Amino acid sequence: MPIVIGVKFDKNPKEYYFDPAEETYAEGDLVIVDTQKGNELGTVVKGNFEVEENGSGKELKKVIRKANGRDLDQYRRSKETEPRALAVAKEKASKLGLTLKFISSEVSFDCKRVVLYFTSEDRVDFRELVRELASALHARIELRQLYERDDVKLRGALGMCGRECCCRSHLRDFEKVTVKMAKVQGLSLNPTKISGICGKLMCCLKYENEYYSEVFKQMPKVNGKVMTPDGLAVVESNDMLKKIVTCKVFVDDTFVIKKFPLEEITIVKPTNPPQGEGKKDKDKKKRDRREDRREGRNAKEEENAAPADEDLTDDLDDADELPPLFGDDTTDE
């Protein structure tokens, strides 16, 4: 099995694996690694360890060396360039009249590439802006548009829980979050209470969704009937963490609110009247109506049909004289 190390970069919580090339690295070491964007400085978060073959056939990028004093000075210069690059970008965009809101900038380790992150509500042609920025900063310019979640992930913010947003602190990728998750957990569907700083549904709704989904299947429905040790009751609310059901227990003409563990109650299934016979009766009535209409049409057709041929013998016998078929056979000469 190959030996790798785990490395993280600034402003990115995701961990990447690199080939240590027979060197030993410890957690916290600063290293220069080869990436698709060139050489970058990263921090070792996992020392040498073995991993299984992924079967992709791709070779891991290698660690070039441990960072020395010259590398740290170069890294410091690149970070000092970022505010200047952001200020120049805002100035150039304002002169060109572009509706761009620049959020952050990122300068590569060797200062040869500058990435500018922005937001915009409209489509913008920034080709002229790229040319002017490349001339002013003497580097390759990349402009990347951000959306709500990416904006918070890049800049960071505090959530309603008081902690740093998950996307900034530890989440590697955004996962799908739905309103159904909040509904299953019994949360208020008020958008202001289940939405994060970015305006989207909070990522933490997904963390315990698996547990709540399993318990939700076991708990009785609110306003449903259950059988308790004290008799028949109606469910008021469910505590899915403690698996406790709050019920209205009916006593004579009144009721009492009581709580019961989930294992002490039995769900009363509603008894619906059998619908098989009703459906059969409806089908039979439909068939009868179709037969009646068919019989009515047949009777009407018989009434309108031509009468049958009658025996005309008597009429011919009683006739005094029959008219000649071809007139008189005699002619005057």
pLDDT of residue 305: 56
Side by side, the strands of the sheet bearing 101-107 are 101-107, 113-119, 140-145
**Nearest of 251, 205, 245, 242 to residue 221 by alpha carbon:** 245
- Could you please state the CATH topology (level 3) that the domain comprising 220-267 is classified under: SH3 type barrels. (2.30.30)
Pairing of strands 3-9, 30-35: unpaired
- Token representation of residue 294: 């068919």
Q: Which amino acid is at 105?
A: S
Separation CA 9–CA 301 (nearest Å): 91
Mean pLDDT by 10 residues, the chain (333 residues): 84 81 85 85 86 69 88 89 89 86 86 86 82 88 81 79 83 82 85 85 87 88 86 87 87 83 84 56 74 71 54 45 46 41
pLDDT of residue 145: 83
Q: What CATH superfamily classification does 75-146 receive?
A: K homology (KH) domain (3.30.300.20)
Cβ atoms within 10 Å of 45's Cβ, excluding its own = 14
pLDDT of residue 4: 86
Domain boundaries, the chain: 3-67, 75-146, 162-214, 220-267
pLDDT of residue 325: 43
pLDDT of residue 71: 87
Cβ atoms within 10 Å of 146's Cβ, excluding its own = 19
pLDDT of residue 279: 59
